[in-house]
Amino acid sequence: MKGFRAFTLVEVAIILVVIGLLLGLGASLIGVLTKRVKYTESKEEVRKAVEALKGYAIRFGYLPSARNETVYNATSPDPAFNTVGVRGFDAWGKALLYRVSGNLIQNSTDLCSLNSTNFSITDQGQFKSNLAFMIISGGLNYNIQTNLTLYLQDTPNIDDFPYDFTRQERYDDLVEYVSLFELQKQRCNYAAPGYCSSLGVTLDQNINSYRKSGGTCTSGTFISLNQADYIETYGGSNCHNLCGNFTFTELIAYDTDKNCKVIIIRQGNVCQPSNQ
């Protein structure tokens, strides 16, 4: 045909190289996208398990017992997941790990009568007490690494859980936990100040004085408040430079661990309550 020009061998080679590069790039992207989808699906499976267990506890006042972690089996889900109606596997087909406080399992006291639990962890350096339960997925490396400490993702050389694979590697577990207080807020219908008759309030070192319920100006770092009390905090000595006024009811809203303790932290000219 007039005007038609055949490709030279060099041009064909270049075209094949370009096609190969595009195919290679596509294959690498497929791998990344597949990992991302699996990660998202696993987070959803963990979330479903958490919500199902929360619903069970709110309805019955206790949680199903967990199998002994020393007999953890990656191919067999904990019977507790069947009890609450979820699969108990992550997106990689590995059984989720379920841990629960012994204070909250069936035949124990109703969770509304508890003030604390025997389950605590450390989450990226922050101590978390009075937990109800925790769900763990082993993540992409198919290895549960979490015992009672949660790390930043990709922290190297981690494997604290001895009943799954024993191999230190980058931390990639997916973990969610629920506190006793979170369950109590939904089952027991607590009013904000109702569970503590007194509240321990710690002041950080940048709060130099305080006044309790309009009383005398005082220096110190710890105050016990009754339900009718309030506290004025000051950045200067002799109750100068007011940085925050708080009632018992306002402070106890920050007591997320339900241990009747909070801390007030000064940031610049503002004092802000936080959980202790």
Model confidence pLDDT, tens digit, residues 62-86: 999 999 999 999 999 999 999 999 9
* Sequential DSSP letters for 95-110: BPEEEE-TTSBTTS--
Lowest mean pLDDT among 56-65, 72-81, 258-267: 258-267
Strands 270-275 and 261-267: antiparallel
- Give the span between the Cα atoms of 114 and 136, in whole angstroms: 25
pLDDT digits (tens, 9 = 90+) for 211-240: 999 999 999 899 999 988 999 999 998 999
Number of H helices, E strands in the chain: 4, 14
Gap between the Cα atoms of 104 and 207, Å rounded: 39
Strand partners, 203: 264
Q: Where are the domains of the chain?
A: 40-187, 198-275
pLDDT band for 125, please (50, 70, 90 cuts): very high
The pLDDT assigned to 257 comes to 72
